[in-house]
Amino acid sequence: MRALALTSFLAAAILAVPATAEEGMIFKTASTDVAETVEAFTSILAKKGATVFAVIEHHNGAASVDLEMKPNTVVVFGNPKMGTPLMQASPTIGLDLPLRVVFYEDEDGKTQIVYHDLDAIAKEHGVPNDHPALMKAKGAIRNLTDAVAK
């Protein structure tokens, strides 16, 4: 009887704590479609001197195997002036660099802009929240995504 009560309590406790894929991610919405938003974003990156390493259009990959998918594009980008000091502080942060932002069309047809919270990434790699390069990178990704989120 006790085991059943404990099992029921644990099951209720687990169900009461929502596990979301949103934890550790920053979400913003754009007023333009995915293609226009990505174009604006990569244009801003070029003007700011960042390197765009890749633009991955997942929906095109899906289409190549006869599957349908709403627009979903990942932009991989970075700047050695910001990334290098972070990797000097913790070489393992290189697993999460360069930075990535995903742009996708949600169920309502709106363009979502999503990226990993740099505080969470830094914590995972033991980089202090007040590290100057982290502060600079957080400001940069916030400003870059804000520029295309409207």
**What would the pLDDT profile of 10-30 be if each residue is shown by its tens digit?**
343 333 333 334 789 999 999
- DSSP 8-class letter at 110: P
Query: pLDDT tens, 102-148?
Result: 999 999 999 999 999 999 999 999 999 999 999 999 999 999 999 99
Distances (CA, A) of 68 to 57, 62, 71, 90, 137: 13, 6, 9, 40, 35
Mean pLDDT, the chain, as a whole number?
Answer: 88
Q: Output the pLDDT for position 18.
A: 34
Categorize the per-residue pLDDT at 71 as very low, low, confident or very high, splitting at 50, 70 and 90. Answer: very high
Domains of the chain: 20-148 (3.30.310.70)
pLDDT of residue 4: 43
